[in-house]
Amino acid sequence: MPQQVTSFLRRIGDTIRGFSVGQRVIAIIGIAVVALGATGLAMWASQPSYTPLFSGVQASDASAIVDQLRTDGVPYQLTDGGSTILVPQQKVYDERLKAASAGLPTSTSGGYSLLDKMGVTSSEFQQSVTYKRAMEGELANTIGAMKGVKTASVRLAIPEDTVFVSEKKDPTASVFVETQNGVTLTSDQVQAIVHLTSAAVTGMKPTDVAVVDADGTVLSTVGAGATGGADKQATTYETRVKSAVQEMLDKVVGPGNATVAVAADVSTESAQRTEESYTTPTNAPSLSETTQKETYTGTGGGAAGVLGPDNIAVPNGTNGNGSFSSESATKDNAVDKVTEQRTIPAGAVTRQTVSVALNSDAVGNVSANEIRNLVNAAAGIDTARGDAVSVEMVPFSKASATEAAKAIQQAKDAAAADQLTGIIRSSIIGAAIVAAAIIAFALFRRSRKRAAEQAELEAEEADTLALDQLPFPIALDPAPPTVPMQLDPLPDPDGPELEAERRRAEIEALAERDPQKTAEYLRSLMEDRAGV
């Protein structure tokens, strides 16, 4: 192992040994938290991404599919009450192919595939019923593919063909729709279901389709179409008119200074109406014209007299001469004929009333007549059918406004208090984290300082022990006199002079490193020699 790594590990070990019991507990807890977090992150990252294998399946099919997944050892999840099966994304296509080879799911509505199972010996009744089932299955599959629709079921009532046109009845359809959790079909979706079903069957009209959801709510009725009931139509119409009038008045008199109420009477009856009108074309020639004239002149005896009392003709004195003429004309003129057939659905507005209240304290420059004219145009008022508009200027109550302002202020105060509490909580948490970091840093510095002091103390003890083992230096004895101009022989390496020089150098080095202890040591040696 390299020297740097060994020294790093040794320093870490020395640091850990210098920790107190509390520091070691904190360090162990921190390491455990980090390890748990890393383990959780690794488990989350390794978790496979699940995607739907099948959705909207029946319980029997779901059980068979789950058994197949268990046999294959594929993890799965069940949602939507067990009707949706989720598997890892990389296993979706393999498991779908295996389920298809096993004939799963089996609970299907059939569709036109039912016609493939018919034999040549099928009766006319069986053919008719199978064809109707096939159409119901195809319509159910198509409606079930719409967004938000979980399952769908269609039932068709197709009357038998007859040669009597007057006895022929229109086909009808009933559609049951189960939506996903939290999903509500919009009016456009209901219209789409109605028109899709009616267009798929010959002779069926949109008003012949009934749509019901899983909650039992009637979304479309036979005879009224997909527009819903009269109450719903009236509510929708009133809401639309009220919104238009209220928006206009808010721009004219200001928000909060006008309130609008709309009441509409909606017809609940539907009917078929046929009208024929005839008009004479201008400058059109006659289709045919016949003129007949008859004239007679001559004498023929006496003219008949006047009847008497006994029914006996009495001569009137004429001579019997006379004449006769007759003329007649027949003309066939061209006539324009218009035949109109109309279907009157339920939901027609028969009468509506609009009431407007203005705040007299805030509206001073606008007259009631001007407001009435604006409302008439915005609401489409028709006086011929009995529509009415009422506009009144009254002082508005300020109690609700005061309460609303008080509630708003309380909400603002509560929000400010919550915000202040959050700031204080965040500050306390931050301060606690900073304090913990400072304490940990201080404990770490303290342990490092304590370790340094311990190492220094050990070094001083080692130096003291080395000094204790050294004899008193020979350099303290007086040196012998030297003879001038006399060459000394080479010193002996093992002689006392070199040994004294070496010890003197050691003492000087020790004096440079710790002069005080060196002085005390020399002083003690001198005192010992003086005592001797």
Find tokens 């690794």 and name the residue.
42
Asked which of 6-15, 178-187, 343-352, 522-531 is least confident by mean pLDDT, the reply is 522-531
The whole-angstrom separation of Cα 151 and Cα 237 is 31
**Tokens coding 513:** 């490193």
* Residues 462, 182: Cα–Cα separation, whole Å: 83
Instruction: List, for residues 346-403, the tens digit of each pLDDT value.
Output: 677 889 999 999 888 877 778 888 889 999 999 889 988 889 999 988 888 777 667 7
Strand partners of residue 329: 291
| pLDDT band, very low/low/confident/very high, at 107 (cuts 50, 70, 90) | low
Task: Compute the distance between CA of residue 208 and CA of residue 166 in angstroms, rounded to an integer.
Answer: 18
Q: Which helix (H) or strand (E) holds 324?
A: strand 321-332
Confidence at 22, pLDDT banded by 50, 70, 90? confident
pLDDT at 481: 53
pLDDT over threshold 90, residue 491: no
Distances from the Cα of 90 to the Cα of 61, 78, 275, angstroms:
22, 17, 67
pLDDT at position 402 is 76
Q: What mean pLDDT is predicted for residues 64-68?
A: 88
CA 79 to chain CA centroid, Å, is: 18
pLDDT band at 175 (very low <50, low <70, confident <90, very high): very high
How many percent of the chain have pLDDT more than 70? 79
Question: Region 264-284: what's the mean pLDDT?
Answer: 79
Contact 325, 278 (CB under 8 A): no
User: For 32-39, what is the mean pLDDT?
Assistant: 82
Tens-place pLDDT, residues 190-203: 889 999 998 888 88
Name the nearest CA neighbour of 389 among 265, 267, 260: 260
Distance CA(434)–CA(427), nearest Å, equals 10
Report the pLDDT averaged over residues 425-444.
Answer: 77
pLDDT in tens, 2-20: 666 677 777 777 777 777 7
What is the reported pLDDT for 410? 85
Of 44, 54, 125, which is closest to residue 92 (Cα–Cα)?
Answer: 54
pLDDT for the residue 449: 77
Q: What is the pTM of this model?
A: 0.39
Cα end-to-end span (Å), the chain: 57
Rounded Cα distance between 380 and 375, Å, is 8
Judged by DSSP in three states, 514 sits in coil
| Cα(72)–Cα(49) distance, integer angstroms | 18
Q: Is 480 helix (H, G, I), strand (E, B) or coil?
A: coil
pLDDT of residue 520: 77
> For residue 58, what are its two tokens?
């029946």
Q: Which of 171, 239, 223, 177 is nearest to 201 (CA)?
A: 171
Q: How confident is the model at residue 528 (pLDDT cuts 50, 70, 90)?
A: low
**Residue 219: how many CB atoms within 10 A of its CB?**
22
Average pLDDT over residues 150-162: 84
- In 10 A of CB 69, how many CB atoms? 18
More confident residue, 270 or 83: 83
Instruction: Find all residues with CB under 8 Å of 279, minimum gap 6, and list them.
Output: 335, 336, 338
Is residue 387 within 8 A of residue 381, CB to CB? The reply is yes
Pairing of strands 209-213, 172-179: parallel
Would you place residue 464 in the very low, low, confident or very high pLDDT band (cuts 50, 70, 90)?
low
Q: What's the pLDDT at 472?
A: 47
pLDDT greater than 90 at residue 412: no
Burial of 471 (0-12, 13-18, 19+ CB in 10 A): exposed
Alpha-carbon dihedral 307, 311, 312, 315, rounded to 10 degrees: 0
The residue ranking higher by pLDDT, 154 or 329, is 154
299-350 pLDDT tens trace: 655 555 555 556 555 555 555 566 778 888 887 777 778 888 777 766 778 8
pLDDT at 229 over 70: no
What is the structure's pLDDT at 423?
A: 85
Whether pLDDT at 244 is above 50: yes
**Average pLDDT of the chain to the nearest whole number:** 77
Calculate what percentage of the chain has a pLDDT beyond 90: 6
Residue 56's SS3 state is coil
- DSSP label at residue 257: S
Tell me what pLDDT residue 477 has.
46
